């Protein structure tokens, strides 16, 4: 299930050499590999692989779907239409409010929990995709237009790439679960970052996929488990050291090139 050439990529000095030869930007980056690890942490958040099932109506509240080949990005809204960027219109893309968010407690710390369900090709090489960025905003009124920009989404509460761990990429393997409809990852973001937000405030959740490993199949979907307003829903295990500090985005590019060779 885990391609042998990718294992070599992540642990071999050949990646560093390739990045140097191509002259790719070598900023420090955090890579969380959820293909072989069950969890990792970066910039205050926990990224946790999950076999969560089922993920259908009545079990989760889907709030945004995003789909495109290669790279894809978008955010939730109730404006209507297939926008912004690669956001899919329909019942499963809509506004959410602060009071809708689900709280989960890990080692005495409260986090907001977001469930990701990916949808890729069910082959050894095609099942992988990268999550490259998440940004979460709040504002006191709903947006009335949705364009290809993050301007107007409100106050930025968390950015996956900003903090002591720097630019962060999460590697996900569709083949590790039972296909579309099975959850793949929980993102846990500290509740403390949302101080001053009212229950009725709106939450806009932006995500970007495919820069390191491109998307090539169906939609990616973010959702909330149906536990809103009930307080902490469970306790998580201690996060594993599933993060790897590598020599930057250049290594990710090298990994993708070598992976497709």
Return the structure tokens found at 176: 């590790």
The answer to whether 85 and 218 have CB atoms below 8 angstroms apart is: no
Residues 129-170 have pLDDT tens digits of 999 999 999 999 999 999 999 999 999 999 999 999 999 999
Enclosing H/E stretch for 6:
helix 4-11
**Between 98 and 180, the higher pLDDT residue:** 98
How does residue 121 score in pLDDT terms, banded at 50, 70 and 90?
confident
Upstream peptide bond of 217 is cis (omega within 30 degrees of 0): no
Residues 13-39 have pLDDT tens digits of 333 333 333 233 334 389 999 999 999
User: CA-to-CA distance for 127 and 174, rounded, in angstroms?
Assistant: 5
How does residue 108 score in pLDDT terms, banded at 50, 70 and 90?
very high
CA 217 → CA 34, 148, 180, distances in Å? 19, 22, 11
Query: Could you give the count of Cα atoms lying within 13 Å of 216 in the half-sphere of its Cβ?
Result: 13
Mean pLDDT of the chain: 80
């Amino acid at each position: 299930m885990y391609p042998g050439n990718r294992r070599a990529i992540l642990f071999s000095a050949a990646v560093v050499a390739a990045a140097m030869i191509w002259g790719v930007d070598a900023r420090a980056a955090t890579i969380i590999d959820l293909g072989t690890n069950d969890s990792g942490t970066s910039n205050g958040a926990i990224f946790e692989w999950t076999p969560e099932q089922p993920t259908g109506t009545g079990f989760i509240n889907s709030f945004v779907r995003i789909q495109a080949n290669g790279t894809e990005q978008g955010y939730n809204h109730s404006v209507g239409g297939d926008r912004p960027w690669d956001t899919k219109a329909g019942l499963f893309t809509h506004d959410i409010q602060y009071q809708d968010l689900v709280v989960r407690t890990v080692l005495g710390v409260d986090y907001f929990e977001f469930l990701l369900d990916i949808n890729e090709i069910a082959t050894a090489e095609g099942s992988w995709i990268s999550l490259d960025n998440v940004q979460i905003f709040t504002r006191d009124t709903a947006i009335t237009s949705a364009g290809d920009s993050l301007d107007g989404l409100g106050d930025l509460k968390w950015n996956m790439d900003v903090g002591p761990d720097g630019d962060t990429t999460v590697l996900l393997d569709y083949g590790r679960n039972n296909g579309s409809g099975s959850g793949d990852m929980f993102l846990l973001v500290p509740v403390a970052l949302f101080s001053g937000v009212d229950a009725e405030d709106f939450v806009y959740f932006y995500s970007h996929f495919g820069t390191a490993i491109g998307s090539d199949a169906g939609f990616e979907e973010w959702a909330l488990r149906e536990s809103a307003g009930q307080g902490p829903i469970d306790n998580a295990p201690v996060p594993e050291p599933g993060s790897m500090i590598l020599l930057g985005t250049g290594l990710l590019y090298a990994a993708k090139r070598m992976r497709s060779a």
